[in-house]
Structure 1
Amino acid sequence: MQPLSRKCDLFTDSVIRRMTRISLDCGAINLAQGFPDFDPPKAMLDRLAEVAYQGPHQYPITMGAPNFRAALARKCGRFMGRTLNPDTEMVVTIGSTEAMVDTLFALTNPGDKVVMFSPYFENYRAQAIFADCEPVFVPLTPPAFNFDANVLEDAFKQGAKAIIICNPSNPSGKVFTEAELKQIAELCIKYDVYAIMDEVYEHIVYEGHKHTYMNSIPGMWERTVSCSSLSKTYSITGWRLGYAIAPKEIMDKIKQYHDFNAVGAASPLMEAAIVGLDMPDSYYEEFGAHYAHMKKLFTEGLDRIGIPYTDPQGAYFVLADIGPFMKPGQSDVEFCEQMARKVGVAAVPGTSFFKENVNNIVRLHFAKVDETLNEALERLSKIREKMG
């Protein structure tokens, strides 16, 4: 038999999704894979019930159903502060993951360098490998996860074609300030680099911080692709409705890859999701307050237990230091697998996110109802005795 793809030897399966499988196997509370255990907005569920009988149930237009794109343009345009053309400047994808992959293929050629900050969402490195690109990592320094502008410029000087930025960041919870984005924008313009933005947590930002869209920075609309999804904003991670927004010249290329990669997103789910996109501003205010409550409950619990962590500025993750609870020579992967089985709480080992040699950090998420978080904290309170 001829050898299989060599690319698959350059990365493993998703450790995040692997931890979900371990959770299911041993009955652990899954604080590894970031999905909520509460329902989407009732209006969306009611509309989904209607669509089940009314349709549509057949192929949509490849770029996304026209009425869905129109609603998406209204919603995104409102928050981005610009008028978006739903026909030429956006495409609906199978989650933001597909949007990111299509964008990488549309912008890059084999051998191109792609800058990304570390810690990074594990998908990015694998996606760069798919596209035959070389990742160039720039460290973010905890606890605020700031970057050194000189180190970033050195990465650009290596001949970067694009930079991937998750804002707010998974896994660190960093929210890039407008000043930081302007610094990055200046480098993008100076070195002719595209910005690929993963903005799925755009509406989960905590007090004292503000989300700024990169495409709103002067000179950046022309070279920015904004990738996002409805997954987090409306608690529908399983609906897999994502999108990319970019100027027409870039979007034409993204659509080409999307057409042959996925054909189209799910027709009935797009139809049902329109009511969510038309939610008033009060929805996003209540949504943000809900996440602020969950963050407070969970982080105060970690404080009581004595588990060190970095305080997130946005998104719904904490990076916790499990060094005090590890055995000599134990890897973070081994620790997480044992913690799921012995403590009953699943986390993601930090080596999934860091380019640097980090072995004492895990990612936990708190997008859960109070009962789930309280039970998880109760289990974590016994981490010393059960992992000793």
Structure 2
Amino acid sequence: MKVIAGKSLMDFHNQYPPMLGLPELREAVAAHSLANQGIACDPASEVVITSGATEGIAACMLGLLNPGDEVIILDPCYDSYVGMAHRAGGVVKPLRLRSDDMSIPLADLEKAFGPKTKLIMFNSPHNPSGKVFSHEEMQAIARLCIQHDVIAVCDEVYEHLTLNGTKHVSLRTLPGMAERSIRLGSAGKTFSFTAWKVGWMTGPSHLLAPIIKAHQFLVFTVPSNLQRAVAHGLNSEANFYRQLGEQLSKKRALLEQPLRDMGFNVLPGEGAYFLVADASKFLRPTETDVDFCQRLTIEAGVTLIPISGFYVSPDPPKQLVRFAFCKDDSKLNTALDKLRAYLLQ
């Protein structure tokens, strides 16, 4: 893919590519959707290439929301959702996930939907927790979306990063959801090329139409050489992304039991490269997750992320921390050694 990206600069013109993306990449995205989720897409009218999935999120919010429309967002969440919903004039309705396993409280989900609900932002596998939501949870979301005529924007950038045999299932595959859902994908996550900022969205043309108008004035298009390289990747490098789950499963296992042995309470996680743990055992009186992470960075030489920073609603949990295991095994082992030396002294 790197060779193709470089060679394309010399072999093709370097003028604006089509606003919706190069035909060859749109065709590759449509083929990828059909092969992996069984969702057929018309490359000409149901696929848009974006400057990373984050630009896709921005375009969705700006294109679909009117001032005062309510947006349900799973809490905690990727922080772009909230900022872009507010920028579009939306009213954010955070749905607090259970802090012990990041599952959706179905009674609270039911209450979150109302006459002003326009959109639900659904992210699975979930950032920041790595949670893959269950079929029961997705069925509940689908039922409520249909009942209240709500659009689902499905952030599925970690679709190939599922662990221990877990299968990713798109919300858009559920009955009644194909015509009310947008799917977002990412070459950065699929091929570990986050610097490239190439993403895509698929969905029905009537939903994409207003989103495309926002996309036009956000970025207009995406570098053509990178699009050609990603098209090759989707068409010919499936073996790479299909083995990511197995590799990451081993890395999570490398961390999980040693952290439990130290005294961390590790939350379940079936996707992405995040491990969330309850650090209550190690918190000093009045210390928060932020304080603990700062202390570990300075005194132990290991940096974790406090989960409270991902919450929208008030009074977030103050005992949860996140490990990222998309690192060389040597770095993970070094981090474990430093944590043992510091926390168990």
Fold agreement, TM-score > 0.5: yes
- For the pair 1:239 / 2:218, whether they are aligned, the reply is no
Q: Tell me whether 334-343 or 240-249 shows the greater mean CA deviation.
A: 334-343
Match of residue 186, structure 2, among 202, 207, 229: 229
Residue identity matched to 1:274: A
Deviations 1:272-327 (A, max 9, x none): 22221013654443222111111111213323333222121111111122222223
Counterparts of 1:244-263 in structure 2, within 5 Å, are 244-263=201-220
Match of residue 97, structure 2, among 127, 133, 140: 140
The answer for the alignment partner of 2:116 in structure 1 is 159
Match of residue 181, structure 1, among 120, 134, 138: 138
Higher relative contact order (CA 8 A, sep 6+): 1
> Once the 2 structures are TM-superposed, how far is the Cα of residue 245 of structure 1 from its aligned partner?
1.0
CA distance in 2, matches of 1:71, 1:250: 21
The alignment partner of 2:243 has SS state of helix
The answer for the alignment partner of 1:335 in structure 2 is 292
Deviations 1:85-127 (A, max 9, x none): 1111111111111101111111110111111112222222222
The alignment partner of 2:333 has SS state of helix
Corresponding pairs, count: 343
Residue identity matched to 1:384: L
Residue identity matched to 2:329: D
Counterparts of 1:24-63 in structure 2, within 5 Å, are 44-63=1-20
CA distance in 2, matches of 1:382, 1:55: 55
Residue identity matched to 1:90: V
CA distance in 2, matches of 1:370, 1:47: 30
> Once the 2 structures are TM-superposed, how far is the Cα of residue 242 of structure 1 from its aligned partner?
1.0
Residue identity matched to 1:165: F
- For the pair 1:371 / 2:299, whether they are aligned, the reply is no
Deviations 1:321-354 (A, max 9, x none): 2222223223322332332232222222111123
Match of residue 358, structure 1, among 292, 296, 317: 317
CA distance in 1, matches of 2:291, 2:10: 48
Deviations 1:231-256 (A, max 9, x none): 11110111101111110011111111
Identity of aligned residues (%): 33
The answer for the alignment partner of 2:275 in structure 1 is 318
Residue identity matched to 1:173: G
The answer for the alignment partner of 2:227 in structure 1 is 270
> Once the 2 structures are TM-superposed, how far is the Cα of residue 48 of structure 1 from its aligned partner?
2.8
CA distance in 1, matches of 2:130, 2:250: 16
Deviations 1:185-213 (A, max 9, x none): 01001011111111011111123532111
8 Å Cα contact 1:163/1:193 also seen in 2? yes
CA distance in 1, matches of 2:134, 2:254: 26
Q: Tell me whether 184-193 or 205-214 shows the greater mean CA deviation.
A: 205-214
- For the pair 1:79 / 2:44, whether they are aligned, the reply is no
Residue identity matched to 1:377: L
CA distance in 2, matches of 1:372, 1:352: 25
> Once the 2 structures are TM-superposed, how far is the Cα of residue 61 of structure 1 from its aligned partner?
1.1
The alignment partner of 2:126 has SS state of coil
CA distance in 1, matches of 2:318, 2:99: 15
Aligned-residue RMSD, C-alpha = 1.9
Deviations 1:328-386 (A, max 9, x none): 22332233233223222222211112334311111211111211211222222234279
The 1:74–1:340 alpha-carbon spacing in structure 2 relative to 1, beyond 3 Å, is same
The runs of 5 or more residues in structure 1 that have no matched partner are 1-43
With the length of structure 2 as denominator, give the TM-score of the two structures. Answer: 0.93
CA distance in 2, matches of 1:120, 1:381: 30
